[in-house]
Amino acid sequence: MDIETLRHSAAHLLAQAVKELFPDVKLGIGPAIEKGFYYDFQKDEPFTPEDLKKIEKKMKALSHQKLTIEQVSMSDDDLEDYYRKESFKKELAEELDKPIFFKQGNFIDLCKGPHVEDTGKIKNYKLMKVSGAYWKGDASNQQLQRIYGVIFETKEELKEYLHMLEEAEKRNHIKLGKELGLYSFHKEGPGFPFMHPKGMIFWNEIMKLWKEKHDDYEYVEIRTPIILNKELWVKSGHWENYRDNMYETKIDKDEVAIKPMNCPGGILWYNERLHSYREFPMRVAEIGLVHRHELSGVLNGMFRVRAFHQDDAHIYMTKTQIQKEVLNVLKLTDELYSAFGLKYHLELSTRPEKRIGKDKDWDLSEKALKKALEKYGMKYDLNEGDGAFYGPKIDVHIKDALGRTWQCATIQLDMNLPERFDMTFEGKDGKKHRPIMIHRTIYGGVERFVGIIVEHFGGKFPLWLSPVQVRILNVTDRNLKFARAIAKKMKKKGIRAEVDDRAETISKKVRSAQVEKVPIMVTIGDKEEENKTLAVRTRDGKLKFGVESNDLMKKMVKNIKDRELEFSC
């Protein structure tokens, strides 16, 4: 059975159930989407959680009836009556050459199909939520209510998916960010995250890794302004194609915009002087702060923000260097993702119908990307016709601990901006030539990557990434001096240690550290102080007594230096 057909048929079953329970509701559209389906409805009162339960129960009853789903013809009188009741369907029909209708029981819907044979085939589904949605996605149109559902071919797949959602909720990065004191969000700045001290430690460790790896791969780093003149954005094409997502203002009498991308500023830096082929490949990185005007309805913690940092890099080179440089980026990407234990797969997107540039340049670029991927030795998906209008690209989709995929890294060949900005270099022949330009990012939006990593580890970060690496717990005030001396020794070794000196029981202190997901807890009582040893408890509950402090620190320092994902005492 085709899964897309099943999902689409489930949307129709949802619509039929809603119409039978709420006859006055008007129907919008109901397509198949990834993992499931949705249907839009116009209803004066909002759907409640209790309504969703009733609707799902009705869907199951209709499934059991095994109603035949068949295409039908409608008389002019029937059509007139149908359109009178369903104004949204009438609007859709007027846009079609020949409207097609399907019937199941007494329910008729405007739809091009296809569908399963009968409603009995529609099983293993679950209604998930209700949200607002503008008719045809246009904010100037009426707002409807959208009911989302998921459906799978087997009960086991549905059960696994619902279990994954439960786990995902436990790992929700917004909730964990607050509990762990990493970051927060405030109504005074929607879409603009606030980073807390522990969050900055987390951030800085991620960026420290990034900088080390980029030094290894011989990148230079620049920084460009966040506000630039309108003329630049007109020249780059953003003013025409991206203006709705840009923040604009005036400085004196000049129109300016806050940058939504780093590329044009980087090109101004490049064009400061004439470059030679001897400098190529030139790898130029920028952790640039960009701003994009996102609608309030799509904001989602760190995953969708209005201000974020992009770990951009632009590589300037000759045509013969494309393959080697793409391979270099893939290797760098692998090294960075491996530090977090992330798996990934690759996707090559080729020339779209609407594009710029000469076919011979597209041939050369696509061939170079394919050769680089083949040499890299990892299987990749081919996404024909989905490249950028200025060049083909490789997207990297990472997989987190729950099996969810996220598109973060991208490698894009650009034949547009070098032309628009008249970028040149001096070749071996002493003449000016046009460089090839790669746009690439690995973390993507760093804020979004932070959110992904928080959920990937569920807040249980490896030692090198943990804001607090060890918490020292004194049993009584008598042990406080020794506890502080151990913390001081650890800090001198570069270990992030702190003492919990609250007047609480040791069990409460242990519980607090576990809730905050501190990797290592060191307990110091009279026995430990007398023997000059430590009682060490790891986050997974393992407890070891009589540990020498120097031995513990030696293991920790090595674990942190090597950025290992696990620690054992």
Between 408 and 568, name the one with better pLDDT. 408
CB 367, CB 391: distance < 8 Å: no
The pTM of the full predicted model, rounded to 2 decimals, is 0.86
| Two tokens, residue 460 | 């249980």
Within 8 A by CB and 6+ apart from 281, the residues are 315, 316, 317, 321, 324, 325
Cis peptide before 114 (omega within 30 of 0): yes
DSSP output for 174-226: HHHHHHTTSEE--TTSTT-PEEPHHHHHHHHHHHHHHHHHHHHTT-EE----S
Please state the rounded mean pLDDT for residues 362-373: 90
Q: How confident is the model at residue 541 (pLDDT cuts 50, 70, 90)?
A: confident
User: What's the CATH superfamily of 3-170?
Assistant: Threonyl-trna Synthetase; Chain A, domain 2 (3.30.980.10)
| Two tokens, residue 363 | 């041939």
pLDDT, one tens digit per residue, over 50-99 is 999 999 999 999 999 999 999 999 898 889 999 999 999 999 999 988 89
For β-strands 143-151 and 183-184, DSSP reports them as unpaired
pLDDT, one tens digit per residue, over 46-56 is 999 999 999 99
CATH code 3.30.930.10 region(s) in the chain: 195-223+263-457
CATH code 3.40.50.800 region(s) in the chain: 463-561
3-class DSSP assignment, residue 144 = strand
Q: CA 438, 443, 447 angle in degrees (round to 5)? A: 130
DSSP output for 23-91: TTPEE----EETTEEEEEEE-SSPP-HHHHHHHHHHHHHHHHTT-BEEEE---HHHHHHHHHH-HHHHH
Helix, strand, coil % in the chain, rounded to nearest 5: 40, 25, 30
Instruction: Write down the mean pLDDT value for the chain.
Output: 94
With pLDDT > 70 as the criterion, what percentage of the chain qualifies? 100
For β-strands 69-72 and 36-42, DSSP reports them as unpaired
CATH code 3.30.980.10 region(s) in the chain: 3-170
- pLDDT above 90: residue 388: no
| Span 463-561 CATH architecture | 3-Layer(aba) Sandwich (3.40)
Beta bridge partner(s), residue 133: 144
| Two tokens, residue 92 | 């859709």
CB 209, CB 194: distance < 8 Å: no
| Two tokens, residue 532 | 């000059």
Q: Provide the residue count of the chain.
A: 569
> Distance between CA 244 and CA 84 in Å, rounded?
36
**Side chain identity at 227, as an amino acid letter?**
I
Catalytic residues: 263, 292, 310, 312, 314, 393, 439
pLDDT, one tens digit per residue, over 418-474 is 988 999 999 999 999 999 999 999 999 999 999 999 999 999 999 999 999 999 999
How far is C-alpha 267 from the chain's CA centre?
27
Whole-number pLDDT of residue 97 = 82
pLDDT, one tens digit per residue, over 287-339 is 999 999 998 888 999 999 999 999 999 999 998 999 999 999 999 999 999 99
> Distance between CA 470 and CA 516 in Å, rounded?
11
3-state secondary structure 513-557: HHHCCCCEEEEECHHHHHHCCEEEEECCCCEEEEECHHHHHHHHH
> Distance between CA 503 and CA 327 in Å, rounded?
57
- pLDDT above 70: residue 1: no
3-class DSSP assignment, residue 369 = helix
Within 8 A by CB and 6+ apart from 347, the residues are 380, 381, 382, 383, 394, 395, 396, 397
Return the CATH number of 195-223+263-457, one of 1.10.10.60, 3.30.930.10, 3.40.640.10, 2.60.40.10. 3.30.930.10
> Distance between CA 264 and CA 515 in Å, rounded?
45
| Two tokens, residue 398 | 């990472």
